[in-house]
Amino acid sequence: MKCDMCGKEEAKFEVEIEGTRMNVGTDCSKFGKLIRKIRPTSNVEQKREQKIIIKKEEKLQLIVTNYSNIVKSAREKKGLKQEEVAKQIHEKESVIHNIESGRREPRLELARKLEKFFGITLIENYQKEKFKQSSSKDLGMTVGDMISVKTRKKL
């Protein structure tokens, strides 16, 4: 684990800097109040962290934003009432009404039922960006990268 402030060295201390807890190296530890010393990470712990990153690379399934219009128009095309749709897909009429009015987003299971029943698309698949393991050359973004320090010139 690298220093959260500069990214140059391994984080050895947990410190509080302006109300924020950070893991920092020896040089950056002087900027805050020492909370505790961090034990070095073993190879097993580093592999666990890599596994967690890999698990985050999952596909997301999200409901489309205009789901209410899609469901309502599909029902009207079939010439069905909300009550009839509810009976056929084994849901309450109020659930169908709330979905069509946009007050309630359908859960994925119900969205799949509606997709199958009407032959429409309510669920879109998204894939998260893949995380790249940083090498010793690529230190990633640190707090120091996000701020610019202004220094005064001495006269």
Residues 57-88: tens digit of each pLDDT: 567 888 999 999 999 999 999 999 999 999 99
In this prediction, residue 80 carries a pLDDT of 95
14 lies in the same domain as 68 = no
25 lies in the same domain as 69 = no
Reduced to 3 DSSP states, what percent helix, strand and coil does the chain have, rounded to the nearest 5?
40, 15, 45
Q: Which residues of the chain have pLDDT under 70?
A: 41-58, 128-155
Those residues whose C-beta lies under 8 Å from the C-beta of residue 128, and which sit 6 or more positions away, are: 56, 57, 58, 59, 60
- Please check whether residue 36 lies inside any domain of the structure: yes
9 lies in the same domain as 49 = yes
127, 59 Cβ separation under 8 angstroms: yes
46 lies in the same domain as 80 = no
* Domains held by the chain: number: 2
2 lies in the same domain as 29 = yes
22 lies in the same domain as 69 = no
In this prediction, residue 82 carries a pLDDT of 94
- Please check whether residue 136 lies inside any domain of the structure: no
110 lies in the same domain as 122 = yes
- Please check whether residue 149 lies inside any domain of the structure: no
Domain with 6 in it: 1-57
Can you give the CATH number for the domain in which 69 is found?
Answer: 1.10.260.40
In this prediction, residue 145 carries a pLDDT of 64
86 lies in the same domain as 103 = yes
68 lies in the same domain as 93 = yes
In this prediction, residue 29 carries a pLDDT of 85
26 lies in the same domain as 42 = yes
Q: pTM of the predicted model, to two decimals?
A: 0.47
In this prediction, residue 27 carries a pLDDT of 85
- Please check whether residue 97 lies inside any domain of the structure: yes
Query: Which secondary structure element, helix H or strand E, spans residue 109, and what is its range?
Result: helix 108-118
39 lies in the same domain as 97 = no
In this prediction, residue 135 carries a pLDDT of 44
In this prediction, residue 76 carries a pLDDT of 95
